[in-house]
Structure 1
Amino acid sequence: MLELVRERVRLRHYSLRTERAYVSWVRRFVIANGRRHPRELGGAEVERFLTDLAARDDVASGTQNQALAALLFLYREVLGLKLPWMQDVVRAKRPRRLPVVLSRGEVDRLLGAMDGTTRLMASLLYGTGMRLMECTRLRIKDVDFERNEIVVREGKGDKDRRVPLPRTLRQDLERAIERACVLHRHDLADGLGEFHLPHALAKKYPTAARETGWQYVFPSAQRSVDPRTARMRRHHVDDSSLQRAVKRARVLAGIAKPATCHTLRHSFATHLLEAGQDIRTVQELLGHKDLGTTQIYTHVLGRGAGAVLSPLDRQA
């Protein structure tokens, strides 16, 4: 059954992370119910499983909703069952949290505590507003030096968008691409260097997989086996390496805020709005479907509680 889940996920062109998450949740659900087949289970078992996640395992609402999404995918897409109880399953309400945002000085200190490729990647996160995986998966063909822009492919919601290429990073990015090209030439010399093309492009363009443009800007130093095709390839750099580098830099910079890679994206949006950029433009750059998602950054500007003069200060 788990193989059927994998096949259906790949048919829908979901990411490898989603595939692994869905398979993991289905396995946990089956084990939690005495290894009974899901066809024998129903809404009561799903509700109990989700309740146990919250009450016993104390998982976040987002994690609980991910488990529900995996189980609904199992019943609807894999087993082909459209049961009445599916519409009644209650999703956990996600609390509205304000994002952590660094000041411009804190961003400078954070980036100043980094070096090499990780500093370039962190600078791209702040300078373009890209998400972590959008940065690690950046391909050479999507960096346009002539137009000073970067095309973000297959972002959240499988949407493409364009973001500005920071001029201050131009030379560092050119050198990174040169290093990627050198690695690609070595791979080609060893009979490798083939990129996994999305969907059916490999059949439509048989030689495209070996072209330089399809290679990652930030390739891994080591080759590895593709978990889906079992072929030896050079993957992109591990995203956890950048996460660790940002965490180390935060400590070295003496920043008390719990800053992560995603904090740089929040800071990008906030600083653009502070500079007077139109919120619709910021929405497009971030790739938000709903303007309401972008509007959360107006709460961390000086237009909210910070712009109100306290009565105590008026007495001073």
Structure 2
Amino acid sequence: MALIKRGRFYHYEFQVNGIRFRGSTKQTTETKAKQVEVRKMHEAQENGYRPFPRKPPILRDFATTVLKAVDSSALDPDTKRYYRNGWSRIASTPLANMRLDWITTEAVEAIELSGSPSWQNQALRTLSMILSKAAGKHYLHERPKIKLLKEQRRERMIDDDDEKALLKVAEPTLKDVLVIIRDMGLRPDELFRMRWEHVHWEKRLYFNPYGKSSKARRWIPMSQRVVDVLKERLRKQSLPRAASRRKVVKLPSSPEWVFPSKRAGSGHLTTVAKQFREARCLAELPESLKLYGGRHAFGTYAVEATGNVFAVADAMGHEDLKTTRIYQHPELDTIREAIDQRNNRRVM
């Protein structure tokens, strides 16, 4: 048996039946670390651990294999892209060149990731997924615990005044995007992938078939304003267009995407970030205002008007009601009025 201090904590290392065991005791004093080491040895002797079938590879090599499997799987394209982006951040850290069995909770906490908490969590979730696969392949006895960062709540929403200011200066495509995201609560990526075949005109419903969970694939009501916007877009897409300078009329094929794009490889628009930044600047609105604030506004207004958190959660594709609360802004007018009434009674 041996105890080695790395950083703040002592690490144990011992062998049972020719199998080597090592890890962090999570203790800063040698006495307590020794107690943890003894307990770990008893557990290994009583329960036993499966020996590693072969020498564990380094994380970079194993991640390449895992991500190839992810790409060829039936996972949602957004999930595949999420893991790809997450790995690109882990790949630039010292962890990428470490052997799988040397990656501990402390080693993960020691790496420095840039960006917002949500951006860093993307990398940490990707790492957690890869290490879980490693444990399944018996390269690890167990996946080390990875603590995610606390993500900030989205406080700013696109309210009626913001929308009015933006619509005055926005380009036509952005105007349609703003109306749809505020009236339907779609996520931006869901909005850009809208297909005409999923629009049900008679019932004024739209079916979103995308998402990582069953709740994400859902029916969403369309306001009359959204119906008008969509009908106008469909009308313009269905108009004959000139194919050359000779004014030869070319009949349009059946439109597929609500927001088509010839430049995008996907065939549809993927972002209006530049348009939104320009409109926000012209409208003299703060940089804290994001396009996602339109979805935030939908959740806020829908809950205030209906009081039905369950229905709103379904419309927004939330599995957990706690998530829906992020999009709520408490209505404080009633509280203010109650205090004013109390004060008025005192004066009388």
> TM-score, with normalisation over the residues of structure 1?
0.71
CA apart distance, 1:140: 1.0
Q: Who is 1:219 aligned against?
A: 260
Tell me the distance in 1 between the aligned counterparts of 2:91 and 2:262. Answer: 39
Of the candidates 76, 80, 86, which is equivalent to residue 19 of structure 1? 80
Higher strand share: 2
Pick which of 66-75 and 7-16 moved more.
7-16
Tell me the distance in 2 between the aligned counterparts of 1:251 and 1:37. Answer: 46
Deviations, residues 64-115 of structure 1 (Å, cap 9, x unaligned):
32222212222333784353451x4231241452521233222222223223
Q: Who is 2:31 aligned against?
A: none
Q: Does 1:266 align with 2:296?
A: yes
- Partner SS for 1:125: helix
Tell me the distance in 2 between the aligned counterparts of 1:30 and 1:272. Answer: 42
Percent of aligned pairs with the same amino acid: 21
The structure with the larger Rg is 2
Q: Who is 1:43 aligned against?
A: 104
Q: How many residues align?
A: 272
Q: Letter of the aligned partner of 1:9 in structure 2?
A: V
Measured on the aligned residues, the alpha-carbon RMSD in Å equals 3.5
Deviations, residues 236-272 of structure 1 (Å, cap 9, x unaligned):
1131xx2222222222223236211110011111122
Q: Letter of the aligned partner of 2:111 in structure 1?
A: D
Pick which of 17-26 and 58-67 moved more.
17-26
Q: 1:90 and 1:169, CA in 2 relative to 1: closer, same or farther beyond 3 A?
A: closer
Q: Who is 2:35 aligned against?
A: none
CA apart distance, 1:123: 0.8
Q: Letter of the aligned partner of 1:48 in structure 2?
A: A
- Partner SS for 2:292: helix
Deviations, residues 20-74 of structure 1 (Å, cap 9, x unaligned):
4534544554553386364464225xx4344322xxx454332332222212222
User: What does 1:143-292 correspond to in 2, within 5 Å?
Assistant: 143-157=199-213, 159-180=216-237, 212=254, 215-222=256-263, 224=265, 235-239=267-271, 242-256=272-286, 258-292=288-322
Tell me the distance in 1 between the aligned counterparts of 2:325 and 2:146. Answer: 27
Q: Does 1:62 align with 2:118?
A: yes
Q: Who is 1:33 aligned against?
A: 94
Tell me the distance in 1 between the aligned counterparts of 2:262 and 2:337. Answer: 48
Tell me the distance in 2 between the aligned counterparts of 1:23 and 1:252. Answer: 35
Tell me the distance in 2 between the aligned counterparts of 1:80 and 1:93. Answer: 25
Q: Who is 2:127 aligned against?
A: 71
CA apart distance, 1:280: 1.7
Deviations, residues 151-208 of structure 1 (Å, cap 9, x unaligned):
1111353531111212123233123234445699x9xxxxxxxxxxxxxxxxxxxxxx
For structure 2, the 5+ residue unaligned runs are 1-60, 244-252
Higher helix share: 1
Q: Letter of the aligned partner of 2:175 in structure 1?
A: R
Q: Who is 1:113 aligned against?
A: 169
- The answer to whether the Cα contact below 8 Å between 1:129 and 1:264 also exists between their aligned partners in 2 is yes
- The answer to whether the Cα contact below 8 Å between 1:283 and 1:294 also exists between their aligned partners in 2 is yes
Of the candidates 296, 303, 307, which is equivalent to residue 326 of structure 2? 296
Tell me the distance in 2 between the aligned counterparts of 1:183 and 1:4. Answer: 48
Q: Letter of the aligned partner of 1:5 in structure 2?
A: V
Q: Does 1:130 align with 2:191?
A: no
Q: Who is 1:206 aligned against?
A: none
Q: Which has the higher contact order (CA 8 A, sep 6+)?
A: 1
- The answer to whether the Cα contact below 8 Å between 1:136 and 1:237 also exists between their aligned partners in 2 is yes
Q: Letter of the aligned partner of 2:292 in structure 1?
A: H
- The answer to whether the Cα contact below 8 Å between 2:108 and 2:146 also exists between their aligned partners in 1 is no
Q: 1:59 and 1:124, CA in 2 relative to 1: closer, same or farther beyond 3 A?
A: same
Q: 1:102 and 1:39, CA in 2 relative to 1: closer, same or farther beyond 3 A?
A: closer
- Partner SS for 1:163: strand
- The answer to whether the Cα contact below 8 Å between 2:194 and 2:259 also exists between their aligned partners in 1 is yes
User: What does 1:73-88 correspond to in 2, within 5 Å?
Assistant: 73-77=129-133, 80-81=136-137, 83-86=140-143, 88=144
Of the candidates 131, 144, 148, which is equivalent to residue 92 of structure 1? 148
Tell me the distance in 2 between the aligned counterparts of 1:307 and 1:285. Answer: 31
- Partner SS for 1:275: helix
- The answer to whether the Cα contact below 8 Å between 1:125 and 1:132 also exists between their aligned partners in 2 is yes
- The answer to whether the Cα contact below 8 Å between 1:220 and 1:235 also exists between their aligned partners in 2 is yes
Q: Does 1:10 align with 2:51?
A: no
- The answer to whether the Cα contact below 8 Å between 1:130 and 1:265 also exists between their aligned partners in 2 is yes
